[in-house]
Amino acid sequence: MSQATELAAAAGSTDPRVGLRAVRALRRLLERLEVVQVDNARRQGWSWQEIADTLEVSRQAVHKKHAGRPAVNSSWEA
């Protein structure tokens, strides 16, 4: 079972401490995955608008969040 699958299962726990910790870990994982995929898209020539449309956010929001930060390794395994 993958870490993400285990965390998703734990997020449904009836124990709030277990569930909330899993939600926090999933949020961190999601943020790392977004960074990797935005960098991947930019390396492949995607515009900020294309990325924003795919993420269903505004171009300004994705640009503000990701422009100017250092690129990460193309592997999301950290």
What's the whole-model pTM score?
A: 0.81
For 1-11, the pLDDT digits (tens) are 688 899 999 99
The answer to whether residue 17 sits within a structural domain is: yes
Contact assessment for residue 13 and residue 22, using Cβ atoms and an 8 Å cutoff:
yes
Print the domain residue range for 57.
3-66
The answer to whether residue 77 sits within a structural domain is: no
The answer to whether residue 74 sits within a structural domain is: no
The answer to whether residue 60 sits within a structural domain is: yes
- Please count the residues of the chain: 78
Ramachandran class of 14: left when φ > 0, alpha when ψ lies in -120 to 50, beta otherwise: alpha
For 18-76, the pLDDT digits (tens) are 999 999 999 999 999 999 999 999 999 999 999 999 999 999 999 999 998 888 876 64
